[in-house]
Each structure stands twice: as C-alpha cells, then as structure tokens.
Amino acid sequence: QVQLVESGGGSVQAGGSLRLSCAASGYTYSSYCMGWFRQAPGKEREEVATIDSDGSSSYADSVKGRFTISQDNTQNTLYLQMNSLKAEDTAMYYCAAAGFAFEYGGVRYAYPCSSHDFGYWGQGTQVTVSS
C-alpha cells in the first residue's frame, strides 16, 4: 500500500523560505514520477513541480526560479524547497506520485511525468505566506 506523508508547512512572511518533505512508503517502481501540487481556497488544483525517476524536473511558470524539487532515493523522500515566497503561494500543498502503468519482466513501471497521471496522493500540508 502506497503512503505519502507531507510535512514542513507553516506560516512565513513574504520573502521567506520553507522546505516541504514527502515521505513515501510502498511506492516501488523502476521508473516513476512524483510531484507537488497546491490548491488555494476557491481555486483549481495547480501542478507546482514534478520530477522523474531519472531526475528530470519541471516547474509551473509561477514558481520557476523560486522553488526547487528534489528527491532522496535512499530515504524515499521528496522535497520542495520554496524561496522568495509570495502571498499568492498560500495554499494547501500536496505530494503526489504517478500510478501504475504496466509490468514487464516482473518489473513495475509507473506513468511518466508527461502523462500527468497521478494515482497516489498525500493528505496535504498548509503553507501560509503573509505580506
């Protein structure tokens, strides 16, 4: 069973920094995609950043140059370093992982980031930025 548990959210003033963590368990794929999403009240969920198992990353235009996604495979942990935070970054942040795509030769493969097919989600961690 896949579990994603986020931590690191909180309240910070504009211009400050936070680092979100996502501890993953049970997510065992030879290739995969993981990412961070956010949803502010009254707004649609937004894809913030994603990273493939080969380390390729992608960012929303609104966070490019300010946020950095990374992963520690030895610790099964995904991170989102958020710098130069703005009031508009206030949202619930969710960790997500791509779902099962196929199995070949006994090896499981998840969807790549380009498919935007995320089958596993964490409970979220709140980030509040005050101006």
Residue with tokens 């508009």: 88
CA 11 vs CA 18, 44, 67, 91, 97: distances in Å: 9, 22, 17, 11, 26
> Quick one: pLDDT at residue 75?
76
Q: How confident is the model at residue 86 (pLDDT cuts 50, 70, 90)?
A: very high
Phi-psi region of 84 (alpha: psi -120 to 50; beta: other; left: phi over 0): left
Q: What is the pLDDT of residues 22-53, one digit of tens each?
A: 999 999 998 999 999 999 999 999 999 999 99
Q: Does pLDDT of 102 surpass 80?
A: yes
Phi first, then psi, for residue 87 (nearest 5°) are -55, -35
